[in-house]
């Protein structure tokens, strides 16, 4: 019958499609990242879900961009794998020569990958440029302490600071504001596009960029004339592959298309990967922090509410602190990729302690009795209604689960009724700073690895959160530690601040993130770069 | 997805306006061409104002780490606090002079960004259109011919199932089956690392990978690209295939009942010839029309497909830029989409008018 | 509206037929035969299931949509189906069965709100535009065409960002999604109603009413409106399925409703992505299947109604049929 002939033709057409699929399968499925057979050391394939805003240091202030900058640009000071202490990178020495003068001596004969000379002129140019461009997306606000920069000779740079003995200055020089750029390539008053940077080969890092497909694929080649503090790259090159969906990245690392997957995999993915013998999950200290902010004006019994009463407001904060079960959230929602955080300064940083653990709950467990006690002592009638806000799209998909648990923990006691709501990020941000949210979620990723980065931005004058917290003693101690050159004294100051902060509870620290990188079982060197500097150095990785 | 209705209720949407006498094809084309501009203008204007209501890119990027006064200073620096009409006319002036700007959240020239992601989406659209046609048209013909019998029932059910399954769910199932469980096809992406590198080193790439691979004679890359294309193309293609199947069936049934087909049948022309020759050609007109309209559906479905399969194209990128409040990028993408949609509709209308003069008005 | 629908579709039917038989869907069932009836019935039962779940979610669901603990303690995370949680739990400890059931309520609410708003706005604008014509008509047509042509999901995303600025409470989220979908739908209703209005305006009975001196509003209200709305049940059904898909798409891309405000299938599916690659299938499959089945049901109803309305496609009851009804009916139940 005719129709059968027709059907046959259809079948052939369909078979054609599948034949197409079959021949396709015979191709290099997924492709192997290593073409190491030819070279001495093989290429490393690195995957991430972070994004690059701009390679130009003056135009970006985010993890994704900074990760690439760390591979290709020099710093005056940088840290070596394994630690976060800044040591001279392209500098020979760097120190305070006067309280307000920070002098850096550069190594001799430094060359950019394009052959241009790298000297003090480039350094001065880089910082002046940041401040001058003041790009809305740039990190120039980290450089506010620089008064002026002079270059007595080609090898010497002198920074004159506004505030003497700034203990964070060395860290700032290794922060997102710190990469040095080529003054013969970059314009002084505007940003340079990524493509132009790549074309001009304005690099001096462990790597240079060979090919650049923004936020898709970047291919790096070791730079032979690199003279910084890091070792020569341990591999024959690296590719950075950008993902938008965590589970795709997870499948690629499982199938061997990636050697390292970092920032970020979901907790469920990581737990599953731990069971996979083909990959290894590496965990390092993390500086990421999740916390709850109390707005002193509009929280229950806050200064601008009808029944304002500072003592009652304080009792409410204390009761919340007694009730939250950090361990439960870390275990259930984050499966150990976040750990309980017991102070405003995360563990691993200078002077960090566990001030909240000492003051609230029972040995790290929540305590309903203590919460009840503190509320009844202050004469607060229960249940207290709390409007709790979180943001679902900026701090990872798990925020919803995290705050559902917080709500549950507070309500279980019968002391609170929680009205939990979420708002999209931009609106959330504006509203949270405009006294709209009585109690709300925030997170933090440090600009540089120093305790001060968890204090100065947050607490003097209500900090960037604008939560109207104010305690003269805290302000004074924070200012003091910032310029205290004696290490032991500074540590003591920082500990004291944390104690005061735990008593007041301007913010309630909840969780501290760990750095998690998943690597193929035979990949070496990942462990060493997952340190407190939060810089992933591709050059440390080999296989 | 609006197309479903378009396809199913041709009579309802038919008499869009009263027929006007006179006016040749030329006049009709001109009028129809001029209508492209208000369409684009309206969409661009809408998006401009909608985006300004929703916040600014600086707060989106740095709100979590800077105090409000510093944010305000940066916002002022960027000029986002100026009166919205001033910004609007400035923007109109810029696009009138062909200056589309640089994206705010990842600093790319808009034109270049559109070229990069546009070609990716175009490739996905072509691939899935091929799948849709290969599946939809033959199956639709079978369904029409075996009308109201078992094959028809199964095929129609299949078509509705295709429509009812969200692309991301179908994509997930396909991915789990063919790449995770069976390991036949890659999980995601447009090509593997080596191929991507080879593609980026070409002198004048078109951006459509299989075309570039063909032109450079890199057949290994071509295989790799094909392997990566299969699942996304099937996921998105199936959705459209369902629409085509129903459309072909409906229109064939319509023409198969026509007098001249009946006449052919009575003269003893075989059913096969009736379906493929006599009835098929007139039924093609609405199919071409809807194919054009499918572009909009494809672009919409592409957002979800692109997300599921890590296919870095326009739709997905639009979602990203929206979250970042990147006005410039969003306006650029919307403008391009508006142009594509308006031009496609224009072409479809002209083709329809040339084929069937009664359409003109 | 419903009685004119039937009257228009079944010009031969008696005006005095029982109300039940004159309602859109029931009349279609009566009218249908064989295969078409099977498809329609499958559609109606799936849709009925969906609506039942939506209405009785509070009774049917073992737990609340945002409940993560009960008297016995906190729910386990990602527990496999069985025991206290027949369909398992999610990473956050939500009960999957409960969330799927509550999700039908969210979907149904969004459908009702968005389609009601679309009909109201679309019909009103379509009537005005079609009846009065002129500049108003031209401007509205160009705007509607521009919006109609634009990819609907992308439009919905833009709208959801604009609208969801405030808190995402249950109604906040529902409204944001509904309005986003409404914006997409209005042009469709507008086009249909406008076209019908224009067609009917030229009909003799409207002209005669004008001659008699009836006011414009009366003519619109009585004659055009009644006749123009006969295709609406069809569009309503098809739009409902589209609304579910758009809502799920929004949720999947992260522009939907948060889990603490309401249960939403697309959102749950998005959250389940990481699970599915780790062998935890139950968090994704159940909401996914829920979407497929409810859309399938609604589309089957809509498709069958469309076929029955279209004389070309109506089941060949009499002439030249080679098939037997029974055979087709069996085939219709895959």
Using CB atoms, list chains with 3+ pairs below 8 Å to chain A.
Answer: B, C
**Alpha-carbon gap, residue A164 to A167, rounded angstroms:** 9
Chain C residues whose beta carbon lies within 8 Å of the beta carbon of residue A423: 165-168
- C131/A369: higher pLDDT: A369
- Asked if residues B140 and B245 have their Cβ atoms less than 8 Å apart, the reply is yes
B61–C contact, CB cutoff 8 A? no
Using the beta-carbon criterion (under 8 Å), do C154 and B299 form an inter-chain contact? Answer: yes
C230–A contact, CB cutoff 8 A? no
When the pLDDT of each residue in chain A is averaged and rounded to a whole number, the result is: 88
Predicted pLDDT at A110: 93
B50–A contact, CB cutoff 8 A? no
Instruction: Give the number of other CB atoms < 10 A from CB of residue B206.
Output: 15
B172–C contact, CB cutoff 8 A? yes
Answer left, alpha or beta for residue A419, where phi above 0 means left and psi between -120 and 50 means alpha: beta
Chain C residues whose beta carbon lies within 8 Å of the beta carbon of residue A421: 167-169, 260-261
Number of H helices, E strands in chain A: 16, 19
Mean pLDDT of A311-327: 95
Predicted pLDDT at A206: 95
- With b for 16 or more beta-carbon neighbours within 10 A and e for fewer, the C125-140 pattern comes to bbbbbbbebeeebeeb
pLDDT tens profile A406-463: 999 999 899 999 988 888 788 888 888 888 899 999 999 888 889 999 999 999 887 8
CA of B357, closest CA in chain C: separation in Å?
A: 20
Using the beta-carbon criterion (under 8 Å), do C168 and A423 form an inter-chain contact? Answer: yes
**Alpha-carbon gap, residue C150 to B295, rounded angstroms:** 10
Instruction: Give the number of other CB atoms < 10 A from CB of residue A276.
Output: 15
- Asked if residues B8 and B292 have their Cβ atoms less than 8 Å apart, the reply is no
Using the beta-carbon criterion (under 8 Å), do B16 and C195 form an inter-chain contact? Answer: yes
Cα A288 to the center of its chain, rounded Å: 6
Q: Looking at this predicted complex, what is its ipTM?
A: 0.79
Mutate to test the interface with C, among A244, A246, A332, A427 (most CBs of C within 10 A): A332
% pLDDT > 70, chain A: 93
Q: Which helix or strand (DSSP H or E) is residue C199 part of?
A: helix C170-201
**Alpha-carbon gap, residue A189 to C124, rounded angstroms:** 56
**Alpha-carbon gap, residue C173 to B283, rounded angstroms:** 44
Select from C78, C92, C273 the Cβ nearest to the Cβ of A400.
C92
**Alpha-carbon gap, residue A541 to A532, rounded angstroms:** 17
**Alpha-carbon gap, residue A186 to C140, rounded angstroms:** 51
DSSP label at residue C32:
-
**Euclidean distance between the first and final Cα of chain B, in Å?**
27
Mean pLDDT of C140-166: 75
Q: Which helix or strand (DSSP H or E) is residue A78 part of?
A: strand A77-78
Confidence of residue C334 (pLDDT cuts 50, 70, 90): very low
Q: Which helix or strand (DSSP H or E) is residue A507 part of?
A: strand A507-513
What residue in B sits closest to C305 (Cα-Cα)? B8
Using the beta-carbon criterion (under 8 Å), do C278 and A269 form an inter-chain contact? Answer: yes
Mutate to test the interface with B, among C5, C34, C151, C324 (most CBs of B within 10 A): C151
Using CB atoms, list chains with 3+ pairs below 8 Å to chain C.
Answer: A, B
Residue C152 has phi, psi (to 5 degrees) of -70, -40
- Asked if residues C292 and B165 have their Cβ atoms less than 8 Å apart, the reply is yes
Predicted pLDDT at A395: 86
Handedness of CA A86, A91, A93, A95 (dihedral sign): negative
Predicted pLDDT at C77: 83
- Asked if residues A94 and A77 have their Cβ atoms less than 8 Å apart, the reply is yes
Residue A281 has phi, psi (to 5 degrees) of -95, 120
Using the beta-carbon criterion (under 8 Å), do A25 and B135 form an inter-chain contact? Answer: no
Q: Chain B neighbours among C 17-36 (CB < 8 Å)?
A: 34-36
Using the beta-carbon criterion (under 8 Å), do C278 and A405 form an inter-chain contact? Answer: no
B20–A contact, CB cutoff 8 A? no
- For A134-176, give the DSSP string: --TTS-GGGGTTEEEEEEEETTEEEEEESSTT-TTHHHHHTST
pLDDT of C333 strictly over 50:
no
Using the beta-carbon criterion (under 8 Å), do C261 and A266 form an inter-chain contact? Answer: no
Mean pLDDT of A344-373: 92
Chain B residues whose beta carbon lies within 8 Å of the beta carbon of residue C288: 166, 169, 172-173
Chain B residues whose beta carbon lies within 8 Å of the beta carbon of residue C162: 50, 53-54
Mutate to test the interface with A, among C266, C273, C279, C322 (most CBs of A within 10 A): C273
B250–C contact, CB cutoff 8 A? yes
Write the burial class of residue C252 (CB in 10 Å: 0-12 exposed, 13-18 middle, 19+ buried). Answer: buried
Using the beta-carbon criterion (under 8 Å), do B160 and C300 form an inter-chain contact? Answer: yes
Number of H helices, E strands in chain B: 18, 0
**Cβ neighbours for B326, distance < 8 A, ≥ 6 positions apart:** B57, B103, B104, B105, B106
**The model's pTM:** 0.81
pLDDT of A1 strictly over 50:
no
pLDDT tens profile A453-495: 999 999 988 788 889 999 999 999 999 999 898 989 999 999 9
Mean pLDDT of A178-197: 93
% pLDDT > 90, chain C: 15
Residue C53 has phi, psi (to 5 degrees) of -60, -40
Select from B54, B183, B227 the Cβ nearest to the Cβ of A27.
B227
Angstrom CA distances, B168 to B121, B224, B334, stand at 16, 23, 23
SS3 A18: helix
Chain A residues whose beta carbon lies within 8 Å of the beta carbon of residue C280: 268
3-class SS letters over A372-414: HHHHHHCCCCCCEEEEEEECCCCCCCCHHHHHHHHHHHHHHCC
**Alpha-carbon gap, residue A509 to A356, rounded angstroms:** 8
- For A428-440, give the DSSP string: HHHHHHTT--SEE
pLDDT of C123 strictly over 50:
yes
Chain C residues whose beta carbon lies within 8 Å of the beta carbon of residue B31: none
Torsion of CA C162, C163, C165, C169, to 10 degrees: -160
**Alpha-carbon gap, residue B73 to B79, rounded angstroms:** 10
- For B203-215, give the DSSP string: SS--S-HHHHHHH
Q: Which helix or strand (DSSP H or E) is residue A211 part of?
A: strand A207-213
Using the beta-carbon criterion (under 8 Å), do A21 and B308 form an inter-chain contact? Answer: no
B138–A contact, CB cutoff 8 A? yes
* Most trustworthy range by pLDDT among A135-144, A377-386, B297-306: A377-386
Using the beta-carbon criterion (under 8 Å), do B153 and C331 form an inter-chain contact? Answer: yes
Predicted pLDDT at C225: 61
Residues of chain B where predicted confidence (pLDDT) is lower than 70: 1-23, 260, 275-286, 293, 295-297, 300, 355-361
- For A320-380, give the DSSP string: HHHH--HHHHHHHTTTTSEEE--SSSPTTSTT---HHHHHSSBTTB--HHHHHHHHHHTT-
Mean pLDDT of C168-177: 74
* Angle of the B219-256 helix axis to the B167-174 helix axis, nearest 10: 130
- Asked if residues A350 and A282 have their Cβ atoms less than 8 Å apart, the reply is no
pLDDT of C4 strictly over 70:
no
pLDDT of A274 strictly over 70:
yes
Q: Nearest-CA neighbor of B138 among A353, A13, A522?
A: A13
pLDDT of A178 strictly over 80:
yes
Using the beta-carbon criterion (under 8 Å), do B322 and C202 form an inter-chain contact? Answer: no
Chain B residues whose beta carbon lies within 8 Å of the beta carbon of residue A212: 200
Instruction: Give the number of other CB atoms < 10 A from CB of residue A36.
Output: 16
Chain B residues whose beta carbon lies within 8 Å of the beta carbon of residue C34: 148
Confidence of residue C23 (pLDDT cuts 50, 70, 90): low
Q: Chain C neighbours among B 9-48 (CB < 8 Å)?
A: 9, 11-18, 35, 38-40, 42-43, 46-47
- Asked if residues A402 and A359 have their Cβ atoms less than 8 Å apart, the reply is no
**Cβ neighbours for B105, distance < 8 A, ≥ 6 positions apart:** A53, A137, B57, B60, B61, B320, B321, B324, B326, B329
Predicted pLDDT at C31: 72
Select from B102, B193, B272 the Cβ nearest to the Cβ of A33.
B193
SS3 B149: coil
Using the beta-carbon criterion (under 8 Å), do B338 and C273 form an inter-chain contact? Answer: no
- C168/A24: higher pLDDT: C168
**Euclidean distance between the first and final Cα of chain A, in Å?**
63
C253–A contact, CB cutoff 8 A? no
Q: Chain B neighbours among C 259-288 (CB < 8 Å)?
A: 266, 269-270, 273, 276-277, 284, 288
CA of C35, closest CA in chain B: separation in Å?
A: 6
**Cβ neighbours for A192, distance < 8 A, ≥ 6 positions apart:** A56, A185, A186, A200
Predicted pLDDT at A380: 93
- For A32-63, give the DSSP string: -S--TTTSSSPPEEEEES---S-SSGGG--SH
SS3 A284: strand
Using the beta-carbon criterion (under 8 Å), do C275 and A268 form an inter-chain contact? Answer: yes
Confidence of residue C71 (pLDDT cuts 50, 70, 90): confident
Mean pLDDT of A17-43: 43
Instruction: Give the number of other CB atoms < 10 A from CB of residue C286.
Output: 22
- Asked if residues A2 and B273 have their Cβ atoms less than 8 Å apart, the reply is yes
* Angle of the C282-309 helix axis to the C34-60 helix axis, nearest 10: 140
Q: What angle do CA C35, C37, C43 make, to 5 degrees?
A: 105
């Amino acid at each position: 019958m005719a129709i059968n002939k027709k059907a046959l033709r259809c079948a052939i057409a369909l078979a054609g499609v599948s034949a197409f699929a079959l021949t396709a399968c015979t191709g290099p499925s997924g492709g192997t990242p290593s073409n190491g057979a030819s070279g001495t050391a093989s290429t490393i394939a690195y995957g991430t879900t972070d994004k690059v805003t701009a390679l130009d240091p003056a135009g970006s202030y985010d993890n994704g961009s900074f990760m690439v900058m760390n591979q290709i640009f020099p710093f005056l000071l940088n840290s070596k794998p394994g630690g976060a202490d800044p040591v001279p990178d392209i500098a020979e020495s760097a120190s305070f020569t006067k309280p307000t003068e920070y002098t850096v001596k550069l190594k001799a004969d430094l060359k950019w990958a394009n052959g241009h000379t790298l000297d003090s002129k480039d350094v001065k140019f880089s910082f002046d440029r940041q401040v001058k461009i003041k790009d809305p997306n740039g990190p120039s606000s980290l450089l506010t302490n620089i008064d002026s920069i002079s270059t007595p000779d080609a090898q010497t740079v002198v920074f004159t600071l506004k505030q003497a003995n700034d203990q964070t200055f060395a860290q700032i020089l290794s922060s997102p504001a710190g990469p040095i750029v080529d003054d013969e390539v970059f314009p002084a008053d505007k940003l340079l596009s990524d493509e132009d940077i790549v074309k001009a080969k304005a690099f001096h890092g462990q790597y240079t960029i060979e090919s650049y497909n923004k936020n898709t694929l970047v291919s790096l080649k070791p730079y032979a004339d690199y003279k910084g503090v890091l070792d020569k790259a341990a591999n024959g090159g690296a590719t950075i592959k950008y993902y938008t969906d965590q589970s795709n990245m997870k499948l690629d690392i499982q199938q061997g298309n990636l050697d390292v997957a970092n920032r970020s995999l979901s907790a469920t993915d990581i737990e599953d990967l731990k069971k996979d013998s083909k990959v290894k999950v590496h965990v390092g200290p993390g500086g990421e922090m999740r916390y709850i902010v109390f707005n002193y004006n509009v929280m229950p019994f806050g200064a601008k509410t009808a029944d304002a009463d500072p003592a009652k407001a304080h009792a409410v904060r204390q009761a919340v602190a007694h009730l939250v079960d950090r361990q439960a959230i870390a275990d259930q929602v984050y499966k150990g990729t976040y750990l309980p955080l017991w102070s405003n300064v995360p563990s691993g940083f200078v002077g960090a302690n566990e001030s909240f653990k000492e003051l609230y709950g029972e040995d790290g467990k929540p305590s309903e009795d203590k919460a009840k006690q503190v509320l009844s002592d202050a004469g607060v009638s229960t249940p207290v209604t709390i409007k709790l806000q979180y943001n679902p799209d900026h701090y990872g998909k798990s925020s919803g689960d995290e705050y559902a648990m917080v709500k549950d923990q507070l309500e279980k006691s019968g002391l609170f009724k929680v009205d939990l709501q979420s708002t999209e990020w931009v609106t959330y941000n504006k509203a949270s700073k405009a006294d709209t949210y009585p109690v709300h979620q925030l997170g933090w990723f440090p600009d540089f690895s120093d305790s001060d980065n968890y204090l100065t931005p947050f607490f003097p004058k209500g900090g960037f959160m604008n939560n109207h917290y104010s305690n003269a003693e805290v302000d004074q101690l924070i200012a003091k530690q910032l310029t205290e050159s004696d290490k032991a004294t500074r540590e003591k100051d920082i500990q004291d601040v944390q104690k005061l902060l735990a008593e007041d509870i301007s913010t309630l620290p909840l969780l501290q993130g760990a750095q998690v990188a998943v690597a193929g079982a035979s990949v070496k060197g990942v462990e060493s770069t997952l340190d407190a500097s939060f810089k992933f150095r591709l050059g440390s990785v080999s296989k | 997805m609006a197309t479903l209705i378009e396809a199913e209720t041709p009579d309802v949407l038919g008499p869009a306006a009263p027929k006007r006498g006179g006016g040749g094809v030329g006049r009709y084309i001109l009028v129809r061409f001029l209508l492209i501009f208000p369409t684009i203008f309206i969409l661009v204007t809408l998006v401009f104002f909608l985006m300004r209501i929703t916040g600014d890119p600086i707060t989106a990027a740095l709100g979590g780490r800077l105090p409000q006064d510093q944010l305000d200073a940066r916002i002022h620096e960027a000029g986002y606090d100026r009166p919205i009409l001033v910004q609007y006319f400035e923007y109109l002036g810029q696009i009138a002079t062909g200056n589309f700007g640089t994206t705010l959240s990842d600093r790319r020239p808009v034109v270049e960004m559109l070229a990069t992601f546009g070609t990716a989406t175009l490739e996905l659209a072509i691939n899935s259109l091929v799948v849709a046609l290969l599946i939809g048209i033959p199956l639709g013909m079978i369904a029409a011919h075996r009308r109201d019998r078992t094959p028809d029932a199964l095929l129609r059910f299949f078509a509705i199932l295709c429509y009812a399954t969200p692309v991301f769910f179908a994509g997930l199932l396909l991915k789990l089956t063919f790449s995770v469980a069976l390991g036949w096809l890659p999980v995601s992406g447009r090509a593997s690392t080596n191929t991507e590198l080879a593609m980026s080193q070409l002198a004048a790439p078109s951006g459509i990978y299989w075309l570039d691979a063909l032109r450079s004679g890199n057949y290994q890359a071509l295989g790799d690209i094909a392997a990566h294309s299969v699942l996304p193309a099937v996921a998105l293609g199936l959705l459209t295939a369902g629409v085509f199947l129903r459309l072909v069936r409906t229109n064939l049934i319509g023409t198969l009942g026509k007098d001249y087909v009946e006449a052919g049948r009575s003269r003893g022309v075989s059913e096969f010839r009736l379906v493929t020759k006599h009835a098929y050609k007139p039924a093609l007109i609405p199919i071409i029309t809807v194919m054009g309209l499918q572009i909009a559906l494809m672009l919409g479905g592409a957002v979800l497909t692109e997300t599921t399969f890590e296919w870095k194209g326009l739709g997905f990128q639009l979602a990203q830029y929206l979250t970042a409040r990147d006005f410039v990028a969003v306006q650029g993408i919307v403008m391009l989409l508006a142009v594509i949609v308006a031009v496609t509709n224009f072409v479809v209308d002209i083709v329809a008018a040339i084929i069937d003069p009664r359409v003109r008005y | 509206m419903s009685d004119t629908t039937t009257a228009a579709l079944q010009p031969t039917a008696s005006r005095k037929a029982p109300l039940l038989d004159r309602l859109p869907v029931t009349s279609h069932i009566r009218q249908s035969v064989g295969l078409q009836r099977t498809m329609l019935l499958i559609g109606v039962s799936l849709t009925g299931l969906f609506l039942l779940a939506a209405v009785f979610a509070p009774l049917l669901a073992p737990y609340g949509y945002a409940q993560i603990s009960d008297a016995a303690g906190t729910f386990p995370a990602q527990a496999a189906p069985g025991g206290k949680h027949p369909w398992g739990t999610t990473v956050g400890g939500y009960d999957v069965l409960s969330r799927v059931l509550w999700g039908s309520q969210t979907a149904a609410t969004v459908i009702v709100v968005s389609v009601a708003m679309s009909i109201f706005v679309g019909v009103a604008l379509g009537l005005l535009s079609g009846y009065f014509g002129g500049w108003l008509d031209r401007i509205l047509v160009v705007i509607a065409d521009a919006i109609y042509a634009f990819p609907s999901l992308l439009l919905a995303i833009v709208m959801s960002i604009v609208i969801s600025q405030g808190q995402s409470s249950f109604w906040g989220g529902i409204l944001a999604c509904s309005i986003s979908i409404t914006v997409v739908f209005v042009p469709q209703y507008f086009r249909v109603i406008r076209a019908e209005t224009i067609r009917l305006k030229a009909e003799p009975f409207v002209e005669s009413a004008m001659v008699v001196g009836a006011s414009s509003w009366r003519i619109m209200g009585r004659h055009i409106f009644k006749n123009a709305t006969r295709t609406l049940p069809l569009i309503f059904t098809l739009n409902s399925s589209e609304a579910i898909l758009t809502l799920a798409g929004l949720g999947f891309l992260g522009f939907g409703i948060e889990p603490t405000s309401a249960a939403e299938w697309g959102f749950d599916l998005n959250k389940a992505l990481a699970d599915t690659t780790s062998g935890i299938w139950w968090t994704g499959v159940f909401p996914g299947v829920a979407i497929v089945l409810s859309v399938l049901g609604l589309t089957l109803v809509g498709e069958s109604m469309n076929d029955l309305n279209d004389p070309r496609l109506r089941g060949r009851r009499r002439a030249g049929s080679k098939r037997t009804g029974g055979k087709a009916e069996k085939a219709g139940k895959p």
